[in-house]
Amino acid sequence: MTKKFLKPNLKTALAIIWFAFTFSLVTWWWIFFLLRFRGDSSHRMFAWEGSILIAAVLIGGIALVIFSYRDQKRHQRLRFFFSTFSHDIKTSIARLRLQAEVLEEDLHGNNSPVMKRLIQDIQRLDLQLENSLLLANLEEGHLLREKVSLNNLFASLRNEFTDLSLEIEKEAFIQGDRRALLSIFRNLLQNSVIHGKASTVKIKVRALSNHRLELIVEDDGLGFKGSLAKLGSEILISTDSRGNGIGLLITKRLLGKMKGDIHFTSKENSGFQSIIQVEGSLI
C-alpha cells in the first residue's frame, strides 16, 4: 500500500487554519475566565497562566507556519532542480543513443555484440530514468485522456526492441495517456527481454464490453519463479542488478490512474503473461 502525502501548499494552509483557530479559541477562553473571575483571588492566577498558554500557542503556531512555508519552498526548489536535471540527462542520453546507432551503421552491419550491448544499455538507462520521473510525479501528475491506436503505439516500440518479434492480434483504440501507455508497454517488453529472455511477444485483444478491453501480453520466455502477488505491488529486494520490480510497480499505478488494472500469470519455462484491463474499444 502506498503512502500519500499532503501537497506542500495544503500543509501550509492547514497550519495557518489550525493556528488561527487554536489561538482564537484559547484567547477567547482566557478573556472569558478573566471576566468571569474578576475580583476573585484566582484572577491573578488565570491572568498569568493564561498569558503563558497564549504565548506558547502563539510562538508554536508561528513556528509551525514558518516551517511549513519553508518546507513548501524547499519542495518547489527540489522539484525544479529535478525536472531541469532530468531533462538535461534525457537529452544527453538521446544524443548518446543517436551516436551509438550512427556508429553501428558505420560498421556496415557487422552485428558487433559490443555495439549491441551498448545500445541495449542506453535503452535500459533511458527507461530507468523515465521510470524515476514517473514515480516522482505520479501522485501530483495529471494524465491526458486521448484515443490511442494500439498499432501506432507498438510501431514506435518496434524501433526500440528490434530483436523482439511483436505480434498484435487485432487493432484497437485505448482511452488513456499516450506517454503513460508507452511507458507501460515499454516496461513489459523490457521485462520480457531482460528477465524472460523472450524472442516473441504476442498481444491478444478482446472486448469485455463496449468501452472496455482486455489485453494479454504474452511472451515465450522463461517465466517467473517468484511470488506473482508481489509483482506490481511493491519494490522487490533482489540481488539481480537488472531490476527490482519498479517498472511493474509504475505500470500498475499508471493503469490505476487510467481506471485500468493488471495482473500476471506465469509457468516456469512456458512464458509470462500480463493481463491488462483498460478503457477502450475494438476497431
pLDDT in tens, 157-178: 888 888 889 999 999 999 998 8
pLDDT at 13 over 50: yes
Q: Which CATH number fits domain 146-282: 3.40.50.9100, 3.30.70.100, 3.40.640.10, 3.30.565.10?
A: 3.30.565.10
Lowest-pLDDT choice from 5-14, 65-74, 149-158, 216-225 = 5-14
| Spatial distance between the Cα atoms of 144 and 197, rounded to a whole number of angstroms | 33
Query: What is the 3-state secondary structure of 65-122?
Result: HHHHHHHHHHHHHHHHHHHHHHHHHHHHHHHHHHHHHHHHHHCCCCCCHHHHHHHHHH
Strand partners, 176: 146
What's the pLDDT score for residue 4? 42
The residue ranges of every structural domain in the chain are 1-141, 146-282
pLDDT at 2 over 50: no
Q: Could you give the 3-state DSSP secondary structure of residue 260?
A: coil
